[in-house]
Structure 1
Amino acid sequence: KLYLDPFMDMYNSEIISYSISRKPSSQAIVSALTQAIEATNDCKYRRPFHSDRGWAYQMKVYNKMLTKNKIFQSMSRKGNCYDNSVMENFFGVLKHKMYYGVVYYSYDELKNAIEKYITYYNQYRIKSKLNWMSPVEYRLSFVA
């Protein structure tokens, strides 16, 4: 069993940062948040970070980091799963493609499989909404 805390760029559905831990912890989410902030530092526009209503996204340290970096916090409405449907879809695809029906015998084996899947998802998994490109290919196609 492990806990995955990913951050997705809604522009191209790329997982821009994540942390994997043995148990839910504030350190894991802050680590992923720090990476996401660094990955989006060059953004010219207002940066909204959307999340569900989980305890990790309501921590004072999380909110302070967003405020310090001029990031707008967007949070799902209570009881409305559709607000976070993009991330829920990612989790569903991840479980379907590399988890269901497979037995992982250790934390490290599962962690490595998830890391490999995220690399595949970002760099090779094409999407029709991205003109049949992967998230990374799509992002790079607009870099001048």
Structure 2
Amino acid sequence: MVQRAFATVKLDLHAVSVFHTDRGSEFKNEGIDEILEAHGIERSLSQKGNPYDNAVAETTFKTLKTEWINGRRFESLKQLSLELFDYINWYNNLRIHGSLGYLSPVAYRLSSLKKVV
């Protein structure tokens, strides 16, 4: 699956210099190592035992897993891509966040910009 995901990337992978991950077992993978080496991409890992090193990514993936994926199966990468696009659009434009004054991220950003101007 990793090889298929890399194969769909539309940019020149030689332009990518760093691939950052946590120390999760899914990233201890010879296939990933071979692809990174073939394209001259350096691997970057979060610090061992430091959950705050990658907090934004961890929170994002936790939200995706609990709110969106939650046991779903996708028939193709195309279906996954389309549904992920829809979820991100909903999350940014419609889902309210208590930490943002019960506004969506886009509404919060727009209200913050109005205060500055």
Tell me if TM exceeds 0.5: yes
- Identify which of 90, 111, 123 aligns with 2:93: 123
1:12-23 equivalence runs, <5 A: 22-23=5-6
Amino acid at match of 1:115: F
Aligned residue in 1 for 2:84: 114
Q: Which runs of 5+ in 2 are unaligned?
A: 24-32
CA distance in structure 2 between the partners assigned to 1:52 and 1:127 by the alignment = 27
Q: Shift of residue 123 of structure 1? A: 0.9
Q: What RMSD, in angstroms, separates the aligned Cα atoms of the two structures?
A: 3.3
Aligned amino acid, residue 22 of structure 1: A
Moved over 4 A (4+): 51-56
Contact 1:98–1:113 (8 Å) recurs in 2 = no
Structure number, greater radius of gyration: 2
**How far apart, CA to CA, are the structure 2 residues paired with 1:141 and 1:87?**
25
Structure 1 counterpart of 2:107, which letter?
E
Alignment TM-score, normalising by the size of structure 2:
0.58
Q: CA deviation at 1:97?
A: 1.8
Percentage of pairs with the same residue = 34
Shift of 1:115: 0.9
Q: Is structure 2 residue 51 aligned with structure 1 residue 81?
A: yes
SS of corresponding position for 1:138: helix
What's 2:110 paired with? 140
For residue 103 of structure 1, report the CA deviation from its aligned partner: 1.5
Letter in 2 for 1:135: P
Structure scoring higher RCO (CA < 8 A, sep ≥ 6) equals 1
Aligned residues: 90
C-alpha distance after superposition, 1:81-130 (max 9, x if no partner): 22222221111111222212212101100111111111111111111111
Q: Structure 1: state its 5+ residue gaps.
A: 3-20, 31-50, 61-74
- Write the distance in 1 (CA, Å) between the matches of 2:105 and 2:77: 28
TM-score, normalised on structure 1?
0.49
Take 2:58 and 2:110, find their aligned partners in 1: how far apart are those partners? 25
C-alpha separation between the residues in 2 aligned to 1:138 and 1:100? 27
Contact 2:22 2:54 in 1 (8 A): no
Partner residue, 2:68: 98
Q: Note if contact 1:53-1:76 (Cα within 8 Å) is conserved in structure 2.
A: yes
